[in-house]
Amino acid sequence: MKYISTRDSNRTPVSFTDILLAGLAPDGGLYLPAEYPQISDAMLTSWRQLLAEEGYAALAAEVLKLFVDDIDDTALEAITARAYRTPVFDHEEIVPVTRIDENLYLGHLSQGPTAAFKDMAMQLLGELFEYELTRRGAEINILGATSGDTGSSAEYAMRGRDNIRVFMLTPAGRMTPFQQAQMFGLDDPNIFNIALDGVFDDCQDIVKAVNGDPEFKKKYSIGAVNSINWARLMAQIVYYVSSWLKITESNDQKVSFSVPTGNFGDICAGHIARQMGLPIDKLIVATNENDVLDEFFRTGDYRPRSSAETQATSSPSMDISRASNFERLVFDVLGRDAGRIADLFGTRVRAGGFTLAEDPAFPAIAEEYGFLSATSSHADRLATIAETNERLGVLIDPHTADGVKAAREWADKIDSPIVVLETALPVKFSETIAEAIGEAPAIPERFEGILDAERHVVDLPNDAEKVKDYIRTSIETTEV
C-alpha cells in the first residue's frame, strides 16, 4: 500500500509511516492511497463475526491492515487494543449505535476522554506516533488548529507521551467555556496552547504556512494531527464499518449516514469507505450557517468565505469556510487529475474559489458518489434539540442536531436507514442546551470540576512568523 499527493502529477509513492509523521505533502497536497483497497463479501461476513465476538479494537486492526504494510500485523493489533479500550472509552462497545426514531439511528462517537468524536482518531494517532517515533528514535512537534474538539482530543491523546510536543492553535474567544477548560486546563510540559487573534480558518492557514516552510518543518520536526493527516481518516473509516455492521443483518443491505460537517474529514472517511465497497447508500453533508459546502453540493460553486464572513454560531466546531479535506473528494471526482487539483486548490481557492457547475463530473457527485447536503440555523438547532429531547428522550449537542435536521430533511427521499454520526456530548455546549430545553445538561461524573482548573494558554497575533518564533523558543527550552 502506497500513498500519493492530491497535487503530485508524478504520483510519487510514499509509505504509510512516512505520511503518518509528515501530515501535509511537500507540494501542499493531501495524501490518499494510490488505490483504495476493496472490501469483499467474505470480508464483511468475517468482520461481522469479529465485531460480535472480539469487539471494536479487533475490527479496527483488520481495517488498518488494509492500509498499513510497514507495521506488522501483531503490532497493529496491540496498537488498536491500547487505543480502543475501557476506561479510556466509557462504553465497552466503544461506538454503540442506538435507534432514536423510525429509520433514524445515532452513532455514539463521544464515549472517549474528551466527549467528542475526535477521540476516535486521536487515541489511535497517539499510539501510532509513539510506536513509530520509538522505532525511529525520533521526536515530533505536532502543530494543529482546532475549532473546538480536535485540540482537546489531540492533547489528551498525546499528553505525557515521550518524544512528542503539541502546539495547538485556537481561535480566541470562539470556543465554549467547557471546550476551553478541557484544553487550557492541561498543565503537561509537552502541551502548548495558543489563542490566536482570528477565526479557525486563520489558525488553519498558519498551520499550512508553517508546513509550507520546508526548512523550518524539517529542522523542528513539525507534524500534523488535524484531519489533513491521513491516519485520522483511516481511523474514522472503522466506525462507518462498525455502524453499518451493527444495524444490518445481511451484506446486501445499504445504510446512509448524516454527518455534521466542518472541515470535511469525518464525511470524507465515509466517502472512502463507500469507495472501498462498504454498502453505503447516501452521505448527507450537514452544515450550519457557514454553508460553503451545502452551496457547492447544490450548485457546483465552491466559494470559500473570508474570516470576516465566517459566522460565529451555536455549533462552533463547524464554523469553517475552507474545508481542507474537500480537496480529497474533488481529487477522486475529477479522475485523480493532480494538475487540475493543484490549480483549483493551490491557485483558484486563494483567488476566491471555483465552479464545477458545468463540468461533466459534477452530476456524478450525487448520482455516483451518493452525496446530498442540507444546512441549519440556530433556530433549527434549538427546535431539533428540544423536539428530540421531549418526544424521544434523547439529548443531543448542537452539531449533532444539525445532523439530525439534515437526516430528517432527506429521510422521505431515501429508502435506507440513516445513521447520524454524533459530534459531542451535550455538556460541551451547555448554554445552547439550556436555551433549547430550559436547563443545562448534567455534567458527567468524569468531568466534574473541569471548569475550575487554572488556565495555561498564550495569546498570539495572527502572524505565522510570530507562531514560528514561539514554537522555536518552546522546543529549545523544553525537553520531552
User: Which residues participate in catalysis according to the annotation?
Assistant: 118
Give the pairing type, strands 255-260 and 418-421.
Answer: parallel
Task: Please list the residues that pair with 39 across neighbouring strands.
Answer: none
Angle at 36 between CA 370 and CA 141, to 5 degrees: 105
Phi-psi region of 351 (alpha: psi -120 to 50; beta: other; left: phi over 0): alpha
Angle at 401 between CA 396 and CA 406, to 5 degrees: 145
CB-based contact 373:70 (threshold 8 Å) = no
Supply 76's cell numbers: 497493529
The torsion defined by the Cα of 243, 246, 247 and 248, in degrees rounded to 10, comes to 110
